[in-house]
Structure 1
């Protein structure tokens, strides 16, 4: 393998090893020595790539967000192709988004905890979240004729937040990990989709 290829492979092993340690422990309380051992790389090679453990963790975060972003794009494309009504959209979006968050929740938990005090990670996370928020709200707007009230921007914004915060709380993402897994996951998804559509249709009278 050419030198450039070996260097790239070594870099990917560093990131993969750090991510696995975060998932295994539920936090970022590991050493670079442990990363080196798990990734079969030298400590020296890690310091050639990263100035500190913080830089390594931020790179892991960027790598995770890249994967999530690609899956979110595919998810929204598929939902847009299939949904023909507000009920369709709510059901398809809640199901797909819930399962996406669930699949990444083991690595998102420690990353989101770190975002509380790491502005770099917090900023990257906000950018990623804002992109999905805009895409989801734009798709909801396709069914604005079914909305019960005229302030459509407010409605879709609150509908998205209702979905996200409900799922995040169940999965222990954010500041209340002790609230994770309270209730039935399948029932939660079904009820959340119904609530979302009902909220958007409500007249408020």
Structure 2
């Protein structure tokens, strides 16, 4: 992940650093409430209790600020993935436990952070920096869960276990992301539907890893 200084003029004085932190945290709070294109710099300054001049002293505008916010947010998300992977490694044993644990953890992390991630994903196609950082973050975070699945490779019956794990997790992620509406504003289902979806995805991925396809 690039440093914050890659997208902003880093403050040097203590008071300025605190103001900039408030700007970042205020923006994250607002992104949890509404879409990026519904937030103005005036909204951010009001929430952060800083002047417009202070904000422009650090970033050139709203798009540059979003890149800064993404860096900070993805750093925290990486810590969440690391903690969840460590928890699963401690608590789950064997493929039958690891698969649903991974599916649920991935889904719940996405759901918890969906409102903020949605703004990055919608901005990504027109912002190369956000797109690159987002893909790098996803690859690194998913790798933490893939490692847990590969530790159960001796139980996998698919003749290409690495490929099966990668494909399976990709489909799980894509389905969860679509349900949560990460490509648009707002979620796509109710709580009961979400829990059913996680159960179904866990069953399907486990079945796929234990499946022996016919020889072609």
Q: Which TM-score applies when normalising by structure 1? A: 0.91
Q: Give me the whole-angstrom Cα distance separating, in 2, the residues matched to 1:115 and 1:124.
A: 9
| Number of equivalent positions | 202
Q: Which runs of 4+ in 1 moved over 4 A?
A: 176-179
Query: 1:44 and 2:50 equivalent?
Result: no
Per-residue deviation, 1:20? 2.5
Q: Which residue of 1 aligns with 2:182?
A: 173
Per-residue deviation, 1:9? 1.7
Q: Which residue of 1 aligns with 2:132?
A: 123
Please tell me whether the aligned partners of residues 158 and 208 of structure 2 are also in contact (alpha carbons under 8 angstroms).
no
Q: Which residue of 2 aligns with 1:34?
A: 43
Matches for 1:47-66 after TM superposition, within 5 Å: 47-66=56-75
Q: Which runs of 5+ in 2 are unaligned?
A: 1-11
Task: Supply the RMSD in Å over aligned alpha carbons.
Answer: 1.8
- Find the partner of 2:83 among 74, 78, 81: 74
Higher mean displacement: 27-36 or 123-132: 27-36
Matches for 1:1-205 after TM superposition, within 5 Å: 4-174=13-183, 180-181=188-189, 184-205=193-214
Higher mean displacement: 121-130 or 79-88: 79-88
Q: Which residue of 1 aligns with 2:5?
A: none
Per-residue deviation, 1:133? 2.3
SS at match of 2:39: coil
Q: Give me the whole-angstrom Cα distance separating, in 2, the residues matched to 1:177 and 1:27.
A: 10
Q: Give me the whole-angstrom Cα distance separating, in 1, the residues matched to 2:39 and 2:159.
A: 51
Q: Give me the whole-angstrom Cα distance separating, in 2, the residues matched to 1:83 and 1:111.
A: 32
Q: Give me the whole-angstrom Cα distance separating, in 2, the residues matched to 1:179 and 1:25.
A: 12
Q: Give me the whole-angstrom Cα distance separating, in 1, the residues matched to 2:144 and 2:43.
A: 39
Please tell me whether the aligned partners of residues 85 and 145 of structure 2 are also in contact (alpha carbons under 8 angstroms).
yes
Per-residue deviation, 1:178? 7.5
Q: Give me the whole-angstrom Cα distance separating, in 1, the residues matched to 2:55 and 2:106.
A: 35
Please tell me whether the aligned partners of residues 18 and 35 of structure 1 are also in contact (alpha carbons under 8 angstroms).
yes
SS at match of 2:93: coil
Q: Which TM-score applies when normalising by structure 2? A: 0.87
Per-residue deviation, 1:49? 0.7
